[in-house]
Every structure is written in structure tokens, then in C-alpha cells.
A and B are shown apart, each in its own frame.
Chain A
Amino acid sequence: MKMKTLAQDNLHHRRRQAVSRLAYLLCALSAVIAMVPLILILAYVVFKGIGALNIDFLTRLPAPVGETGGGMGNAIIGSLMLIGIAAAFGLPLGVLAGVFLAEYRSPRLSWVVRLLSDILSGVPSIIVGVFVYTVLVLTMKRFSALAGGVALAVLMLPTVARTTEEMLRMVPDALREASLALGIPRWRTIVSIVIKTAGGGILTGIMLALARIAGETAPLLFTALSSRTWPRGLDQPVASLPVQIYTYAISPYKDWHQQAWAGSLVLVLMVLILSVGSKLYFGRKIKPAR
């Protein structure tokens, strides 16, 4: 009788162990499966893109329809221009909003701003495009680099605000006190002591935000539109790398498909350098700042 119970126990125990091992295996397998598309996408982008990547591609205007050759030089410059406009609006606003969240203790307003900024970061980017269209394109009566840049600025605002807040919170209160006790005004304390101390982390957040908007396509489709010339001014439509990749990808021409892959390679490199670079920089920088 007793023997049987023991055997049963043993069996039960072994079954539990087996279930546990199976669960472990399935979880590990999920992680492996997740890596398959990443590796495939990166591999395709590199191998298909590198063939069409050359100096012409990086520096020339697109060739007229039907002709081969040409490049995405204007789209690369256009993208940089759009990112620049976005940064000009988004960075100061985002950093200052982050300062508000971390340094100004007005609980109710902070709660609202924090929640809204989190929600804003979940608004689909194409909606932001439609919004900027109704505000800027309709009133200016034209597609423009400015509208595209503003759309991207709206997209980066919540990321910059929240990472800035988080980084400022990591600065110990002792430093704020030390500074205020020296009779340094509050704004000076925030700018020269608190923000400076959190600088590395804030920079990382900024780079991540820039990486994210660099690849955005949807909000540009009907704000910056596109162009087959070099950028001609803030109030003119401008080409961008992501939109150019999209246009070429859905076109019927083999040559353009090639260029879409090459454009993707450039875009992915840009994005990865920004996000991986910031990550490595951050990992090194954050320690000495305590």
C-alpha cells in the first residue's frame, strides 16, 4: 500500500518536472523564433541593398521615370532636414516638459500631463499626419517641409519629455539642495546642476527619439509629401528617405525596387546607429553620475 503511494508520488513528481521542462523549452523557443524575422530582415536589407548602394545613389537626384541610374541624394538630405525641423520644435518643448514633470511638484497637473503624454505616444503616427495636415497644410494651402517636420516633432515630444523626466529623477536631491543652499537661483540649479548631471541620459533619450522619427513614413505622406528635386525651402514639399522607399517599393520597376532596398539599408543603418549608439553611450555614461 505504502509502496504504491510512493510510486505514485514519484510519478507525479516526474510529471511536474517534465511539465516544467517543457514550459522552459517553449519559452526559450519563443525567444529563438523572435530572432528569425530580425535576422532575415537585416540579412535581406544588407544583401539586396548593398548591390545598389554606391556614390551615385547617395549623391544624385532620382533619374526620370523609365531611365535607370540616379539616386536618393535629395531624399537623404530631405530626411535630415525634416529631422532638424522636428528637433528644433520637439527638443526644447520635450526637455522643458520633462523638467516640469520632474522638478515642479504640482501633483494634479503633473498627473494629467504625464498621462496625456503617454497617451500621445500611443496615437498612430498617421493620425498625427492627418492632424498636422488639418492645422498646417490646409491653412498654408501647400504641402511643406515645415508641416512634415512639425508632424515628426509631435511624435518625438512625448518620448523626449518622459525620458527627460526619468533621467532628472535619477539626480539625487542632495545636489539640488547643495546648489540652492549656495544661493543659486532655482532655474540656474535646474539648468546647470540637474540637467547637466543627467545630461548623458537625456541625450540617450533624444537619440532614441530621433531614431524613431527618422524611420516614420505615414505622417509625411501628406505633410512633407515628396519631391524629385533637391529641397527648395521650408514652405516647399520635400523628399524623404522613408517616403521614397515606399514609393519605389510599390512601383512596377525592377530598378526602383533595387533602389528601395538600398534606401532601406541606409535608413536601417541610420536608425541602428542612433539607437544602438545611444544605448552603448548610455551604458557607459550613467555610472559615474551616480
Chain B
Amino acid sequence: MAGSITTNNLSASFGDIRAVEGISIEIPANKVTALIGPSGCGKSTFLRCLNRMHELVPGAHASGEVIWDGKNIYAPEMDATAVRRGIGMVFQKPNPFPLMSVADNVSAGLRLAGVRKNKAAMEEIIERSLRMAALWDEVKNKLGKPGGSLSGGQQQRLCIARALAVEPDVILMDEPCSALDPASTQKIEDTIEELKSDYTIVIVTHNMQQAARVSDFTGFLLTRESGEPGRLVEHGTTSKIFTMPDRKETENYITGRFG
């Protein structure tokens, strides 16, 4: 059973500019939650607050609470590194480590965080992670090849495998398919479907069909006016948001009408 995440009044800014404000949302365990909204609404920023990646940008700051597994990840005694090990992330553009082989990419998280395992155990983890990411059959004969030699879609699944190998609880996906062709997108979506029984997944997407296809719950973020921070307009089960949203803005967005 994976953990759930609850945010309380979460705000994030870059320097003096507020990107998102006052977001309180419950992200249930072992479900896929999609975050949708027009570009610039702060959905990626919000996502990056969930595993403390946001604070890596110079001048960036977050306030409010993110409760994961009963603990506020922004509490002073929490270690950002430990948080990121428990809450993994897959990025918009596939970013395998270019000088490492496929196998080394998968095991990088464990090796570089100082986890010592014998060779057999490590190989087992590599195989399992690649199987979970539905990549094993395609790469089992080229584990020694550089990660950059795979196709774009394979690279992204390699990145998923890499995230899975450190045994996270939650996986955050920031537009994981936006750089991929439709066939690869299909494969990633299938993988997400497979993974959700064991992980809590949060996916940011600008593609509403994708949100409708893969997610159980959906949150809709919106910036009311340019220059304003993004806010959570509403969230609920995906079927409700896409069929009978409470809010007019959501309905406009879903049906393709802005404003």
C-alpha cells in the first residue's frame, strides 16, 4: 500500500512572483491523479513542490504544508534528499544520464545514494524495474549500451524504471508524454495503468484526453488573470470533472471554451 499526499494551503513563488497560491488537495493512495489546466497555470510548479524539487530553482520558495505518510515534508527536520527518494519524479523531456549504460541508469539512484548491494541483487532490481516500466523485453540485450542510444519513448520508460528502482512510494510525472510520438505515449499510459496498484501517481498533462484516459481523480488549476498566481479551481473524480463539473470555468476549459 502506497502513501497518500495532502497539501494544505500550499503556495509557491519565484522571487517576488507568486506562481501558485493556496492549494489544498488530497491525493489518494494507489490512484492516478491528473492535474490539468492551461499552460502557465502553475501545475508543474505545484507538482515540483510535492517532492521539494521546486526549491532547487534559485530564488524559489514554497510555503504551506505537504503531508505525506503523516509527515509534513517541509518540516525542518525533514531531509529533502529522503523526501525525493520516497517521492520520485519523471520529467517532461526524457533525461537519461548520457554517459551511463541502460543498466547503470536504472541502478544510478541506489548506487549514488550510497546503497550497497551485491551484484546479483542489483541485477535483480534492474530487471524488475525495467519490467515494471515495460521496457525489459526491448532492452534486455542492450543493457550495456549508453542510455542515450534508445529511442525517445524508450528513454522515457528508462527514466520511469530509474525512478522505480529506488523504491519510491509516490511517482510524480510532469507531462511525461509531451515529447513523445503517439505509439510511445500509448506504452507509457499502459505502464501507468500497471503501476497504479502499487504506487500513488500524480501526472501533470496539458492533454485532456490523456487525463481522462489514465486518471482516477482530476484537479483543475487556473490563472484568473495574467500575473495572478494559479489556483485550484476544483478537484474530484475524473468522471465527475469531465462530465458534470461544479464550476463554470472547469466546464469551459473541458469543452474547449476559455474565459
Contact = CB atoms under 8 A, between A and B. Distances in A.
Direct contact of A and B (CB under 8 A): yes
Interface of A: 105, 172, 174-186, 188-189, 192-193, 196-197, 199, 288-290
Interface string B78-101: 000111111011010101111100
Interface stretch (B13-21, B107-115, B130-138, B198-206): B107-115
A51 to B, nearest CB: 47
Given A177-B91, A178-B159, A183 B99 contact: no
Contact of A175 (B81, B86, B95, B114): B95
Contacts, number: 81
6 contacts: A179-B112, A182-B113, A183-B86, A183-B166, A193-B112, A288-B148
B196 interface: no
A97 to B, nearest CB: 19
Contact of B91 (A178, A188, A193): A178
A182 B98 contact: no
Given A188-B113, A196-B99, A182 B108 contact: yes
Contacts of B250: none
A289 B108 contact: no
A289 B96 CA distance: 12
Majority DSSP secondary structure for residues of A touching B? helix
Contacts of A182: 84-85, 88, 108-109, 112-113, 162-163, 166
B98 A183 contact: no
B58 interface: yes
Nearest to B90: A181
A178 B159 CA distance: 8
A176 B163 CA distance: 14
Interface centre among A180, A188, A289 (most CB of B within 10 A): A180
Contacts of B56: 176-177, 180
A181 B83 CA distance: 9
Contacts of B88: 181-183
Contacts of B109: 182-184
Interface of B: 51, 53, 56, 58, 81-86, 88-89, 91, 93, 95-99, 108-109, 112-114, 146, 148, 159, 162-163, 166
A180 B112 contact: no
B109 to A, nearest CB: 4
B82 A290 contact: no
Contacts of A186: 81
A185 B51 contact: no
Nearest to B92: A174
B84 A183 contact: yes
Nearest to B51: A181
B112 A177 contact: no
A176 B89 CA distance: 13
A174 B162 contact: no
B53 A178 contact: no
